[in-house]
Structure formats: C-alpha cells, structure tokens
Structure 1
Amino acid sequence: MKQQQVNVREVALETLLKIEKNQAYSHLLLNDMITKSKLNKRDVPLLTEIVYGTIQRQKTLDFYLTPFSKRPLHKLEDWVRILLRLTLYQFVFLERIPDHAAINEAVQIAKKRGHKGISGMVNGILRSVQREGLPNVDDVLDEIEKVAVKTSHPYWLIDRWTNQYGLEKTERMAASNLLHPTHSARVNVSRVTVDEVLHSLSEEGIEARKSDLLPESIIIQKGSLSHTQAFKHGWITIQDEGSMLVAHALGVQQDEHILDACAAPGGKTTHIAEMLDHTGEIHALDIHPHKVKLIMQQVERLEIKNVTAQSLDARKASDQFEVESFDRILVDAPCSGLGVIQRKPDIKWTKKEEDIYQLAEIQKEILHSVWPLLKTNGTLVYSTCTVDQEENEENIRSFIHSCPNAHIDETLKDRLPVEVQRTMNENRGMIQLFPGDYGTDGFFISALVKK
C-alpha cells in the first residue's frame, strides 16, 4: 500500500516536470501519464488533484517556501523545486493527508532521484515549514503583488486585469480561477431528450441534473462521461455552458448557409448543426489538418450530415468562398485562453503579455477576411474564451470603426438566457462572462450585423 502512495507522488512529480520542461498542456499530458504509468484507478483522483493543484497554486506555494530555502527557488534543480511544491500543496490544501506522511514520501523520492544532501535539504525545508508555520500573505505591501500571491497568478496578469476591471473585480475573478470547474454536457436534442440522457447516465452510475441556464445542457455532479453509452451513441457532447451560448448567439434558422471560420475541435460547429435540425449547410474551417480530423470525428459520432470541414487559414477564407455567400458567420477566434484557467491552469504561467498583442492582430485579420463573405443583413458572431479587453471589446470597436457597414447587433440579448442578459454591457451587442459568474468559463460573445 505504501509503495502505491509513493508511485502516485512520483507520477505527479514526473508529470509536473514534463509540463514545465516541455510547456505541455496539463490535461493532455496528465491523461497520457495515467495511461503509461498504469496507476491504480483509485489513485487517479489524488494524482489529478496534486498535479492541477500544484500548478494552480504555484506562486502561493513559492511564496510559502522562499523564506525556508537558503538558495533561491529558481536556482534549485527543477525536480527538487517541483517536489517541494507538490509536497507543500498536500499539507496546506489537502486535509486528508498527514503532514509527516507527505514529508516522508518527499524525502524517499529525493533519496531515489538525488543524493543524501538533497534529501536532507528537502527534509529540512519541509520540517521548518511544518514547525514555524506559513508566511502571511497580508504582509506583502504591494497590492497587486498581494493579490497575485494570494490567488497565484503572474504579476503582469493581475496588473493588466486591474487596469481593465479594477483591483476588486480582478481579485474576485482570479479567486474564481482557483475553484474546481463546473462540468457540463450538451444533449443532442435533435436525436434524444434530456430526460432520456439523464436516465441512461443514471443507470451507469453518473450523477447529473438539468441545467438552470440552457434547456439542452446537463450538469455533471459525479462521474466521467467519455466512456458512457450516451457519449458513444452521440447523444451528448462534453462542452462548457459558456461555449454553448455561442451557438444561441448566432441565432441560426433552418436551411441557412453557415461559415464556422475557426471550428476545431467542433463543439460549436456540431451545436449549430443540431440547431439547424439536419437542414442547411455548415462549412467548418481550421488551419491545422489534424484538428479538421477532430471536427469530423465529432460530426460522425453525433451522426450529423450537414457539416463540411476543410483545412484552411481563416485569414485566407475570402480566396476560397464567394462574396456574400453565407447567411451567418462564426469567428470563435484563436485567443490567449485566459478565461479557461480553471480547467487549464498552466495557461497563466505559459502565456506572456506579448502573446495577447500578437493574437489581437490575428483576430483582426480573420474578421476582415471573412466579413465580405457575409450576406447583407447577415449576422457575424465573434467569440473568445478570454477576458482580456484587447482581444474582445477593443477588437470589435476597432473593426466597426474600420467597416462602415458593420453594426452592433442589439438583438443579441434576445437570443440569450434571461439570467445572462443582465451581464450585457451598454452596447447590448456584447457580453463578457467572467469565471464564477454562472459556473461557466470566461467567455466573450459579440454579434455584428451587416447593413
């Protein structure tokens, strides 16, 4: 039994090390490591908690460790620094693991990977923390740094959000990023009812309920959907409710011709297709050929017939399609992803401020490329899974300024749930969802009409 516990922490260490060294996505690498390590299924939740928790709380953990390490943390070997973090995470944030057990595990791992001096240092640092207690975050004088440490976000990000939204709103948003995300799924109501899906899931031990936000959505309270019969039969799609709102914002009507300009992995594409009820046609584009395959896998699993997918840079869409050939266009633009930190905590450590500027330019290029393809009186929805104003509101305002026939679609409000309508800003044609607002990811949705 003890050997099993050691294995969990060793796998966690190896996973975190690979994420840091390779800038790999945590969710993809974690799944890969679970498979390769042949970990006992009972230990998978603990592994997941340690890996995600250590990444999420990284800055806070480093703040706690710094006074107890004679050498600066960044000068320690990567594996030693990560081992200290994941061990401290356990006895600060996981009540069910005794401090002495976590420390003993860390020392054994240090002995195996390093030499006696390193294991002694690891033991000394952790015992000192245990004996003397944690430093007080409230002693930090710089208000931006205090929030950054308390909520474990990079300084530049808290500073940037504070300039955009104020410190109080920023702290609430950053604190929400530390919460466990809500897990939701979209029912393919063109084939099955929500009640039928809930019954099927219940028979397989999955606890789920109807959503309060969207009629086709269910909230998963316990269990994993990916191996259920409902998933295999194409009755459900795992999707955040903020993402589901995008298809509602588009407001499609039967028999329409739709362009999804940045479609992978296909969640919004297939949602639109289901709303069209097997009529019309959707052209789904993605710049990466392997991601086009992901779209088509979704399409086939859901038994959808009205989607065509191809590999194409959306910035070159105007070279492929005729002017004014689409009734509606969705630009779910490539973005910084700063609205999905709950699910992908590594984003906040891998993204840099200059990435936002580069992405904002690409987003503008895509908008200008696809706009001529939209019919007069047609609707274009621009969405991102970020909360940064430069990628969102500022991009839309800039685009409207440069295109005289582009206007904010004030009827967007009518296509969204009543609960969400109060989040609409004064322009009515834009909405910014923040993490924690409705249990969704951070999402920006705007609608433009061509006049």
Structure 2
Amino acid sequence: MTPAARISAAIEVLGDIEARRRPATDALKDWGLSHRFAGSKDRAAIASLVYDALRRKASAAWIMGENTPRAVVLGMLRLQRGLNADAIAALCSGDRFAPEPLTGTEREKLDAAKLDDAPAHVAADFPEWIEPSLTRLFGDDLVAEMQALTTRAPLDLRVNTLKVSSREEAHDALPHLAAIETSLSPLGLRIMPGEDGRGPAVQVEPEFIKGWIEIQDEGSQLAALLSGVKPGEQVVDLCAGGGGKTLALAAMMENHGQIYATDGDARRLAPIHDRLTRAGVRNVQVRTPRGGADAVSDLNGKIDCVLVDAPCTGVGTWRRNPDAKWRLRPGSLEVRRKEQATVLDRAASLVKPGGRIVYITCSILAEENDEAIEGLLERKSGEFEIVSMPRVLEAAGFGRLAGSMRATAHGLQMTPLRTGTDGFFVAVLKKR
C-alpha cells in the first residue's frame, strides 16, 4: 500500500470507531480481516496513524475547525507528524486509494495551524471534564504534563534477577534490540519505538522465553521496588492480574518468604501460571477465587505487606492506550473509586500490626490517588498512618529520585514529563 492509501485506511478506521463507539483494537482487527491484501507493515503503519490521530484528536480538530475523521487525520499529520501543508497535499492527491484533494479551507487551516489560543483541554488533548482534577495536581504545568501523555511510549523490559546476574548481562545478550539502560530503575532496559510506532517482538527472543526479561514499564518497576519487600516476608498481591508486579516482588524476595497472588476477577489470573514458571519463581501461591468466596480470608492479620495495584481508569497509560481517554466518563470513574475503597478495606484487614499497605495506581487523578487514601484513613480512624515518601525512597535506595517524582499529599506521582514513565501513583500506609 502507498502512504496515501494508508492514510485513507486510517480515516476509514477512525470513522468506524466513531460510528460504533468501539475500541481501536477491535476496529483495526476488523479492517485487517476485510482487507487481507494489506501486509503486516501496512497494518502496523495504519495502526500508528490511527493511534497518533487519537492522541491528538482534540487539538487536530481544533486547528481544522471540524471533528470529522478526515479533519482529525489531517490535523494530526500537521501537529504530530510535523508535515507542512504541501506535504499533506501531496498525499491527498485524489488518485486511486488516496484521500480526496485538500480544499482551499483545509489548506488555509493547515498553513495557519497554531494552538496558542486553544483551551488547556484542547492544547493537551484530554477530556474537558477532568481538568479541575488535573489542575489540582499539576497547576501551571498542566498543559506540558498532559502533552507528554500524547507522545508514543517506549517498550520497557525488567531484568529478572532470579535468572540473570545483572542488567548488564541481559543487555549484552540483546545487542540487536538497541536497548538502553533505564535511568531510574536499576533493573530496566528501554527500547524506543520505531518509525511505525511498534517495538520488536520481544516475546520470541530466547532470553524472554528463558525468563531473563519481562515486559514492564519503568514506572511499574519502580512501584514494585518502593514496596520494600524483603526475603522471608509474608506478602499478598491483592490485585495481581497477569502477575507483572508479583514477578517483580518474587525477584526482590529472592524466592524466600511467601507471596499470595489473588484477584477479584479470576479470569485476569490466567496468564500468571506460565509467567511464574518461565521466570523461575518458587515462592508464589496463586489463590484463585471460586464462587465469589474470598481466597485469602485465612490470612487476615498475618501479612507483612499487602500490595494493592488498584483497579483504576488508567489515565496514566494514555500514551499506550490513546483511545481510552475519549471513552472515559464520570460514571466509570465513580465505579473505579468504589472498587478502590473495597480493595483498600480488604487490604486493611489482611495486614498485621506494624505491617504496611502499598497502594499503586496507573492514574494521575486525585480522586483515585490521594482521595482514595484519605477515604481509608477516615474509615479506619486511628488504625493507619502515612509513611512519608522521602523515607520510602531512602529505604528503597532511591533517595536521589525525590526531585524527579512529584510529591502529593500522601504519595508520589510519576509522569511521562517528570520521570519518562507511565503515570504511576504510589503511597505507603503502616498499620499501628
């Protein structure tokens, strides 16, 4: 397919997303099934165009003066890809499979493209209704912080110290991936996205199959490290899901002590078993809930550390899931807040006196972060105290990162702008 034909296809896919209000992955899959002549490179390039358009949907529509799929793609080519009006016009020739030629108005809009007078939610491409929450966190940095969430995310790997002696050993075994060492996590390797937005197929690498490396954002790696778990402790990963942080905790504990991995949704636990085997983990007991029963009720009051990787809106992952931002609604935020209160209360009953709860989200919304912590402190009056994050950083050997992470009322916020990671929040509470 020609570059122009790929643009036409991206416009078609965006139209399907708008008309049927469906995730981009579903629309792209259906397009590929109905256009089998398109090769893998074509499909990857089209997906990249679609996701870039979704990243800049509001600002692209602003400069073009309309919100049609065509206008959004044209505006994205100007804002995200940096093409001038002549280059865009050359792609929109009207020839076979190419978009229709630019109108005079479209060319004028592309020539004059500026966001100087755009409101914050347009300039930084996020839903207007969450602006008050974001302003409370970011203040004058709002636009810069949220614009960082419109960029493409790198592919981060965590080196598994149960299988390999050092990050350097894993790095040297993968020279063809052009990975660099992450600047914050001592266990991370980073692969920057290619021109088409894709990273390499790491899962087919022998080192991945042998368990040397796992795919995990640097922010997620840091969140696990800040838990401070130690060999010999009793730990519950209460929202373990596919097991990403469970694996990281097991490596920190050097396979000594016990981790109980569970999740309210048993289906989310399905991948964890194979991952544990591949990673060489021997100190994890997977507790799968059955028939709605609590799978860890026998552990109440016995646990040193409860990790709560809470269900959340995922606002901090918008670099990877740009279509999710436009599907976010106030109702879905309220659902997540109730779920967060439920899992925090469950964690409170599991942890023993002197033990701790490590609360993590991949969100940047105060409602899901500081306010969730405040809710627990009110419901469990006098039972818990906040552990100061400078102390947490020092204890984990990350005191130097205090200036990189944004301090909040009760925790630390990582963001693409400040830390180059997804938007992770971490807070630690100690049971008196």
TM-score normalised according to structure 2 size? 0.86
Percent identity between the two aligned chains = 24
Q: Which residue, 332, 339, 344 being the options, matches 2:316?
A: 339
Q: Which residue, 430, 435, 440 being the options, matches 2:411?
A: 430
> CA 1:303 to 1:39, structure 2 compared with 1: closer, same or farther past 3 Å?
farther
> CA 1:377 to 1:344, structure 2 compared with 1: closer, same or farther past 3 Å?
same
Gaps of 5+ in 2: 194-198
CA distance in 2: counterparts of 1:267 and 1:194, whole angstroms: 18
Cα offset, 1:61, TM superposition: 1.7
Cα offset, 1:345, TM superposition: 1.0
> CA 1:24 to 1:194, structure 2 compared with 1: closer, same or farther past 3 Å?
farther
CA distance in 2: counterparts of 1:235 and 1:396, whole angstroms: 35
Q: Which residue, 160, 167, 173 being the options, matches 1:200?
A: 173
- Maintained 8 Å contact 1:213/1:419: no
- Maintained 8 Å contact 2:307/2:357: yes
Which amino acid in the other structure matches residue 152 of structure 1? D
CA distance in 1: counterparts of 2:95 and 2:337, whole angstroms: 43
Aligned 1:15-414 pairs, distance under 5 A: 15-21=13-19, 23-26=21-24, 37=36, 39-43=38-42, 46-66=45-65, 73=67, 81-95=68-82, 98-104=87-93, 108=97, 123=101, 126-131=103-108, 133-134=111-112, 136-140=114-118, 146-166=119-139, 168-192=140-164, 193-202=166-175, 205-221=176-192, 223-224=199-200, 225-312=202-289, 317=294, 320-403=297-380, 404-410=382-388, 411-414=391-394
Cα offset, 1:303, TM superposition: 2.7
Q: Which residue, 419, 423, 432 being the options, matches 1:442?
A: 423
Tell me the residue number matched to 2:196.
none
CA distance in 2: counterparts of 1:40 and 1:324, whole angstroms: 56
Cα offset, 1:138, TM superposition: 3.1
Which amino acid in the other structure matches residue 8 of structure 1? R
Which amino acid in the other structure matches residue 100 of structure 1? A
Tell me the residue number matched to 1:76.
none
- Maintained 8 Å contact 1:413/1:424: no
Cα offset, 1:262, TM superposition: 0.8
Aligned 1:412-423 pairs, distance under 5 A: 412-414=392-394, 415=396, 417-422=398-403, 423=405
Which amino acid in the other structure matches residue 413 of structure 2? Q
Give secondary structure in 2 for the equivalent of 1:390.
helix
CA distance in 1: counterparts of 2:144 and 2:187, whole angstroms: 29
Larger helix proportion, structure 1 or 2?
1
CA distance in 2: counterparts of 1:56 and 1:151, whole angstroms: 9
> CA 1:4 to 1:103, structure 2 compared with 1: closer, same or farther past 3 Å?
closer
CA distance in 2: counterparts of 1:332 and 1:363, whole angstroms: 9
CA distance in 1: counterparts of 2:356 and 2:209, whole angstroms: 34
Give secondary structure in 2 for the equivalent of 1:8.
helix
Which string of whole-angstrom CA distances, capped at 9 and with x for unpartnered residues, describes residues 159-216 of structure 1?
Answer: 43224442x12112111112222332100012112122112211xx210122221221
Which amino acid in the other structure matches residue 169 of structure 1? D
> CA 1:394 to 1:91, structure 2 compared with 1: closer, same or farther past 3 Å?
closer
Cα offset, 1:407, TM superposition: 1.2
Which string of whole-angstrom CA distances, capped at 9 and with x for unpartnered residues, describes residues 354-379 of structure 1?
Answer: 32233112211111122111111111
What is the count of residue pairs matched by the alignment? 415
CA distance in 2: counterparts of 1:371 and 1:42, whole angstroms: 49
> CA 1:253 to 1:179, structure 2 compared with 1: closer, same or farther past 3 Å?
same
CA distance in 2: counterparts of 1:28 and 1:295, whole angstroms: 25
CA distance in 2: counterparts of 1:345 and 1:437, whole angstroms: 19
Cα offset, 1:219, TM superposition: 1.7
CA distance in 2: counterparts of 1:298 and 1:153, whole angstroms: 35
TM-score normalised according to structure 1 size? 0.82
